Chain A
């Protein structure tokens, strides 16, 4: 860990994803894809992903790949391969539609049968019917307070911006050594095989600088992504993370102090062997959730349930009202600018 750098950090941007609102629709991932990662060499890059948990996720088995920080130093884990990310499939529409082979052709990826992709194990989950269970886990770069990717880079191409804590890469100086990819325990760095560089989420920097919330947050139709500065005591992020403690980091044991937090998932009552409901046991095993969100997850869920019971009995809850977000804009802290208005103003200026 580099103490002097950390001291320079003035503010830290953070996000809270409320998993009780996430429906796995992939709008965040698609919004990001369409905006940032359509160039050549980025076919398999999805800076925002949503996976079904339990599952192998993306890259495949990322939770078993190692990395992170131990004893103050980055740990080099497995370097995820192109196959482990998967996806980036290409299709030959021309041959299908205009090749003259009729129904002998089928629309399938041209380079052989796909074996993995960014959302391969969608909705498969775990458990035994009818006590099956799963939930959706959206992930972006955690813009960690201890960014091991930055620590691991021999060329120093990574930079944690002091004003907002965004971890940014100098793509011009990157030589594609991929130590960052080994070190990142969340496996959220992608290798651009055309430009021979690493690439990752930029927290929608050009938007943030204009006061616009990141695309994954602003385009989330389920209104579950909170954006703001962790130290803004009036903002929902601070309240959810620090005050009410209902939002938890993912894999805190990785040691990088991630800045994306999650309201953990509730789940329906389990069914007993005779088919009747058992309201005492959670459907998602708490042991499993602890592997993701650490030992506090049980207490967090209890707190959430207590608040729910309260409103069901006619009470009120500031915490639940915050999660409801009666006003959509209340999710985004200071980042409430309308990108279309800015673009209109910009094009009006450009036209003069």
Chain B
């Protein structure tokens, strides 16, 4: 670019006329922008998990002008950086969504076809009357199970909506089935998927493997701990197909071929065993690898094999010291002086005199690894150099290793195999239950007051005490019946009973919860899709339906299939979710199969979402900063994080707590007028609409949100998770309070570590230090799953399998994940955040793939496969692997031409093995169940020549 010299002598001389005073005038202009009437605590009680970022909200003239991270955390542990100033660009721009043009301000009624964009503004009373009548009609004509709510973790909506829906007997789809964040492989291994360390513990790692995660996008408030761990001496390795925003901060980037992570992990395991790097003490104590397996049946040798009265879940080791069988303890992991063999073959005599050979699982594992997963063999599969795999394995064996995993592995068809292989790598090297180690997923609980407040029958601490006594009583009974249980195991048993409709409190996840997959199978057209053999694992010897039938007929899922089938959908209440954006299969499946069955679709939302646009009635909810709330409590942060009401709700919006109160009262009023108050649900329980309005608020005692949230806090103090006496005033003063104990919920107890005030949390220490058993069939981290279906699949042990060609035989492998600038669709239409990228959706392609298809940067392509198609502009980047297409999720379908989005190329396949019921593999809310996959869908992309006609 040419430059021209300025002759500026005359210009410079004029500077002498500058008046100093005028600057103060300008400074005043900016100072005016920096004056406030009020500040209030705020956070974003949306599913930007783990979130919990404390902000201050700055108010002027009754309007929220901006927000800023509070930065009020004190250092938890000496030598570990503090958590400040947790937040991200989404939080820092949330205020801009309060008054943006997509904010819902008034109740709306559809005035044209669904999705036509024709609306009529109606009064709250009119809207509530319409909804109440539709609910009453449905209860009368189809039963309350035909009223459906999509389970979501949107904390500001869950409690309020769920309470109402539980009270009328409606059905809720399991939230983990809806959001697909169930780490089935971790669950298969540990009997729980939710072990998570507190963010500060990342700093304790000596080796950070960023694997199935892109924390630079998804953990913006916490990523600094990775960078700081590196400055503290840790090495950081990124294992990913694309050179993503997290990889740039790694010491090594291992460009794994998508879908082959299990092969890489297993080859590292092979190296560890081969080179004698095994942490033997950890393996024999913490895992099932020394348990004996019968050579003839391939099943664990169990007490009932040896004695007709013996337990089916009492398993054995071979004690090398005594040269004899020894019972593997069920109540403790303590070896009790036994020296369990890991290798060898032994003979056992059965009662009939028959002698069978038994070998430790480890022996089977070693044989499999040596046969199929040497680094050289794995290199051919995963594309990582064999010596680099060995380099990785040696580091894992020598260092405190933390696998930073998010929610990506579990969205692969064989994600459970990947997770089991990664867990095995950590297990062989003693890398969990210690600082700086482990894997992560999600967990909640802690703020027990929510569940207690929803379960109690009278307000105040007395009501809470009754709930506690009832829950603790049941748990004590369970513990008395089986002394080998820990409180964690007893609480899981209790939750399983609740899930089967046997009473207790639901933890706020719903009384009539069905696995979402069952609902989709029966009512949303997925049965046909899931039966596509060519999109499934070729190891299946029978049609998909045969397996489902077997699972359901054998009663593996209790009454849940029946409930799901009965939930013939008539009314959909969407509150805190966006089913048309999120669901795999997208609008293709739901608008075609579910929508026509629905007589009434109600959406309660802050903003006009894709689902709201296709609703019959839209109810405007108060935004965060306009109502009281808490972020989803989580062990990642260990804080109850408060959001206050800084301003009045915009327009006619109302907090969900008020909306569902009004609806409950309206239902009572209309039911009485129409002479239908009493009815029975599918279990035969008598329900009463006449008193619903009063019962919803415990006769008005919880009407006011101040009282409700004060109660929730006090009840949490009672359960022990917050300091006793914590109340709303405490929160207004401090904004966030660190939890002091786990309380009652099973997800919190699943952390299995004691909470310490001055030490960052790391899960599973009760297993590694106190020798508490794991909640699995074998009471150990379990790598061997001896169910007949797992044998058929050859997945009894971890292995690698090529991903099936979901969507059809196309050349581009879809990877996905959360994009940087939005949590799901929540921030997609934020007017400020829209300016931080290209202002429209995009997908990523490698330059080579773009060139062979004649696609230029920012050109619109049609992405398609045998399932569906959609249009999206391309972003070309050499950081993307050839053959990979990155379809980041969260874009609203209405941001794409023709309102088809990324979900419309995802068939949402499920894995048949996840219909199994075996030992710990059985349903309770948010746990074991089939969930659909979207990574590893195959597509083609072609340039759009003719734009879609308007």
**Chain B binds chain A:** yes
A residues engaging B (CB < 8 A)? 2, 20-21, 23-27, 29-31, 33-36, 46, 64-67, 70, 73-78, 87-89, 91, 93-94, 96-109, 113-115, 117-120, 122-130, 132-135, 151-157, 159, 168-173, 179, 182-183, 202, 205-207, 215, 218-224, 265-269, 271, 274-277, 283, 308, 311-312, 314, 317, 320-321, 323-329, 338-340, 343-344, 346-347, 350
**Are B233 and A152 neighbours in the complex by a CB distance under 8 Å?**
no
A25 touching B248, Cβ below 8 Å: no
Give 30 pairs: A residue, B residue, CB < 8 Å, sorted on A.
A20-B230, A34-B92, A35-B66, A74-B6, A91-B829, A101-B116, A109-B840, A114-B838, A115-B858, A118-B835, A123-B844, A124-B877, A124-B879, A125-B877, A156-B14, A168-B23, A170-B23, A207-B34, A219-B68, A221-B86, A221-B224, A222-B223, A267-B248, A268-B238, A271-B255, A277-B391, A308-B231, A308-B233, A324-B231, A350-B37
Which residues of chain B have a CB within 8 Å of any CB of chain A?
A: 1-6, 8, 10-12, 14-18, 22-23, 25-27, 29-31, 33-39, 56, 58, 66-72, 75, 79-82, 84-89, 92-93, 95-96, 100-102, 112-113, 115-119, 216-217, 220-224, 227-228, 230-233, 235, 238, 243-253, 255, 383-385, 387-388, 391, 608, 613, 820-821, 829, 831-840, 844, 846, 858, 875-882, 892, 894-899, 950
Give the distance to chain B from A282, nearest Cβ to Cβ, in Å.
12
With both chains docked as a complex, state the minimum distance between the C-beta of B42 and any C-beta of chain A, in angstroms.
11
When A and B form their complex, what is the total count of cross-chain residue pairs whose Cβ atoms lie within 8 Å? 366
CA A346 to CA B38, docked complex, whole Å:
9
Q: With A and B bound together, what is the CA distance between A113 and B829 in angstroms?
A: 17
Nearest-neighbour CB distance to chain A for B587, whole angstroms, equals 9
Q: Evaluate contact between A124 and B875: CB separation under 8 angstroms.
A: yes
Q: Which residues of the other chain, A, contact B250 by a CB distance below 8 angstroms?
A: 268
Interface of A is mostly: loop
Contact B56 A130 (CB under 8 A): no
Contact, CB under 8 Å: A24 / B85: no
Q: Is the beta-carbon distance between A129 and B224 smaller than 8 angstroms?
A: no
CB pair A326–B112 under 8 Å, yes or no, is no
- CB neighbours of B897 from chain A (8 A): 106
CB pair A34 B879 closer than 8 Å: no
Beta-carbon contact of B70 and A340 below 8 Å: yes
The answer to whether A114 touches B839 (Cβ under 8 A) is: yes
B223 contacts A23, CB within 8 Å? yes
A125 touches B879 (CB 8 A): yes
Q: Which residue of B lies closest to A338 (CB)?
A: B71
Chain A residues positioned under 8 Å from B16 (CB to CB): 156
Q: A219-B92, A347-B38 are in contact. Are A132 and B879 (CB under 8 A)?
A: yes
Q: Are A25 and B220 in contact (CB under 8 A)?
A: yes
Q: How far is the CB of B729 from chain A (nearest CB, A)?
A: 16
In the complex formed, the residue of A with least CB distance to B836 is A26
User: In whole Å, how far is B20's beta carbon from the nearest beta carbon of chain A?
Assistant: 8
Supply 12 further A-B pairs (C-beta < 8 A) apart from A21-B228, A91-B834, A109-B840: A20-B249, A23-B217, A24-B820, A36-B30, A89-B834, A119-B836, A123-B244, A124-B879, A125-B877, A172-B26, A206-B31, A268-B253
B92 neighbours in A (Cβ, 8 Å): 27, 30-31, 34, 219
Q: Are A308 and B230 in contact (CB under 8 A)?
A: yes
B877 touches A93 (CB 8 A): no
Report how far A244 CA is from B818 CA in the complex, Å. Answer: 38
In the bound complex, how far is the Cα of B109 from the Cα of A158, in angstroms?
Answer: 56
Contact A129 B115 (CB under 8 A): no
**Contact between A276 and B388, CB atoms less than 8 A apart:** yes
Most buried by B among A21, A125, A155: A21
Q: Which residue of A lies closest to B16 (CB)?
A: A156
Q: Which residue of B lies closest to A71 (CB)?
A: B5
Give which listed residue, B56, B881, B892, contacts A107 with CB less than 8 A. B892
Q: Which of B87, B228, B829 contacts A93 (CB 8 A)?
A: B829
Interchain CA distance A274-B4 in the complex, whole Å: 50
CA distance A207 to B27 in the complex (A): 11
Contact of B231 among A34, A88, A320 (CB under 8 A): A320
Nearest CB of A to B139, in Å: 32
- Contacts A117-B835, A172-B26, A312-B235 given: A326-B81 contact, CB under 8 Å? yes
Contacts of A31 on B, CB cut-off 8 Å?
68, 89, 92
Q: State whether A154 and B10 are in contact (beta carbons under 8 Å apart), knowing that A70-B5, A119-B836, A346-B36 are contacts in the complex.
A: yes
Which 5 A-B pairs give the minimum distances between C-beta atoms? A156-B15, A154-B11, A93-B101, A276-B385, A328-B84
CB-CB nearest in chain A for B83:
A328
Q: Which residues of B contact A271 (CB under 8 A)?
A: 253, 255
Contact A30 B832 (CB under 8 A): yes
Please measure, in the bound complex, the distance between the C-alpha atom of A24 and the C-alpha atom of B17, giving whole angstroms: 43
Residue contact A30 to B27, C-beta cutoff 8 Å: no
Identify the interface centre among B119, B245, B892: most chain A CB within 10 Å of its CB. Answer: B245
A100 B117 Cβ-Cβ under 8 A: yes
Q: Is the CB of A169 within 8 A of B899?
A: no
Residues of chain A within 8 A (CB-CB) of B224 are 21, 221-224
Contact A73 B8 (CB under 8 A): yes
Whether B255 lies near A130 (C-beta < 8 A) is yes
CB distance from B204 to the nearest CB of A (A): 13
Q: Are A129 and B879 in contact (CB under 8 A)?
A: yes
Complex Cα gap A118–B102 (Å) = 23
A188–B86 CA distance with the chains assembled, in angstroms: 28
Q: Whole-angstrom distance between the alpha carbons of A277 and B220 in the complex?
A: 28
Minimum Cβ distance to chain B for residue A127 (Å): 6
CB distance from B363 to the nearest CB of A (A): 33
Q: B39 contacts which of A93, A100, A122, A340 (Cβ < 8 Å)?
A: A340
Minimal beta-carbon separation of A122 from chain B (angstroms): 6
The answer on a CB contact under 8 Å between A312 and B233 is yes
Q: Which residues of B contact A20 (CB under 8 A)?
A: 227, 230-231, 249
Are the CB atoms of A346 and B35 closer together than 8 Å? yes
A33 adjacent to B85 (CB under 8 Å): no
Q: Which residues of B lie under 8 Å from residue A321 when comparing CB positions?
A: 231
**Chain B nearest Cβ from A14, distance in angstroms:** 21
A233 CA / B69 CA spacing, docked (Å): 29
Of B11, B66, B95, B896, which is within 8 A of A153 by CB?
B11
Residue from A23, A27, A118, A283 with most neighbouring chain B CB atoms (10 Å): A23
Contact of A66 with B101 in the complex, beta carbons under 8 Å: no
Q: How far is the CA of A265 from the CA of B247 in the complex (A)?
A: 13
Known contacts A222-B223, A268-B238; is A122 also within 8 Å of B6 by CB?
no
Q: Contacts A24-B820, A218-B85, A275-B385; is A107 near B894 (CB within 8 Å)?
A: yes
Query: How far in angstroms is the closest Cβ of chain A from B73?
Result: 8
If A119-B836, A134-B879 touch, whether A183 touches B6 (CB-CB below 8 Å) is: yes
Q: Which has the most chain A C-beta neighbours within 10 Å: B68, B112, B821, B846?
A: B68
User: Contact at B33–A35, with CB atoms within 8 Å?
Assistant: yes
Counting chain A CB atoms within 10 Å of each CB, the highest count among B14, B27, B878 belongs to B878
Q: Which of these, B18, B93, B221, B896, contacts A106 with CB under 8 Å?
A: B896
* Contact assessment for A27 and B836 in the assembled complex, using a CB-CB cutoff below 8 Å: no
Assess the A325–B81 pair: CB atoms within 8 A: yes
Report the separation of the CA atoms of residues A317 and B232 in the bound assembly, to the nearest whole angstrom.
9
B245 proximity list for chain A (CB < 8 A): 23-24, 123
Among B39, B875, B895, B896: residue with most chain A CB under 10 A = B39
